[in-house]
Amino acid sequence: MKKLVTLLMLSLMASSAFAVIDPDPDMLGIYFDTTGDDNCLTTAANVPFFAYVILTNPTVPGVEAFEFGYENAVPVGFETLIFQLSTTLPAGAIDVGEGTPTAGNIIAGLANPVPAAPATVLVTWQYLLLSPMSVEMYLTASNPSSIEGGLPVIQAEGSLRQVGLSTGGPSFPVATVNAGCAVATESDTWGGLKSLYR
């Protein structure tokens, strides 16, 4: 019995170490909390809300620079009814990217690396919707991008590397506002699937 209790406690501690939606390493996503747990928001018009671009489960000690493209897809005719009230980057960051509330690039170099954590916040946006509407949020490579391949890039330990897209992909939203929730996809084997029904 002691072994079972010990095993249960260890599994609970291990699962809390990766308390983010996407358990994969080096994934970039947009979340509505700073811990990488919530990528689906329901909000009313005229109520400001925050969205965080987070690198989850990094395998590097810190991030020295980062670049990505973003798009906030809204219904046709509603493009002027979404406002980006603020963009906050880590202290000492310089962003040479350009954008609007609906699309753009963040291309940022940092004076000091951002130390890695299971949920490493790289950008904080504050938005306001002037009308009840849905928003699908996408991340892609920046334009221009330092590395070909269509994915965001970070610099760590002096070298550039691509990172994956958490809970989405270039064709799927990584976060949603007032829309169907973006869900992380998991790969599974046929044997693993069959074992669920034994």
Protein fold of 21-185: Immunoglobulin-like (2.60.40)
Q: What is the 3-state secondary structure (H, E, C) of 135-166?
A: EEEEEECCCCCCCCCCCCEEEECCEEEECEEC
Exposure string of 8-22, with b = 16+ CB inside 10 Å and e = fewer, is: eeeeeeeeeebebbb
Q: Percent of the chain having pLDDT more than 90? A: 76
Q: What is the pTM of this model?
A: 0.82
Q: What is the mean pLDDT of residues 109-120?
A: 96
Instruction: Transcribe 62-120 into DSSP letters.
Output: EEEEEEEEEEEE--TT-GGGEEEEEEE--TTEEE---B-SSEEEEEEEEEEEEEP-SEE
pLDDT of 69: 97
Q: What's at 184, amino acid-wise?
A: A
Instruction: Flag whether pLDDT at 168 surpasses 90.
Output: no
pLDDT of 187: 38
Q: What are phi and psi of 49, to 5 degrees?
A: -145, 155
Q: Percent of the chain having pLDDT more than 70? A: 81
pLDDT of 52: 98
Domain assignments of the chain as residue spans, ordered by start: 21-185
Neighbouring residues of 184: CB distance < 8 A, sequence distance ≥ 6: 21, 22, 166, 167
pLDDT band at 183 (very low <50, low <70, confident <90, very high): low
Average pLDDT, the chain: 85
Q: Contact, 41 vs 134, CB < 8 A?
A: no
Q: What is the mean pLDDT of residues 125-138?
A: 97
Q: How many CB atoms lie within 10 A of CB 169?
A: 17
165 vs 167, higher pLDDT: 165
Distance of alpha carbon 68 from its chain centroid, rounded? 11
54 vs 191, higher pLDDT: 54
pLDDT band at 155 (very low <50, low <70, confident <90, very high): very high
Report pLDDT digits (tens) over 20-73. 788 999 999 999 999 999 999 999 999 999 999 999 999 999 999 999 999 999
Instruction: Flag whether pLDDT at 16 surpasses 80.
Output: no
Residue appearing with tokens 């334009």: 143
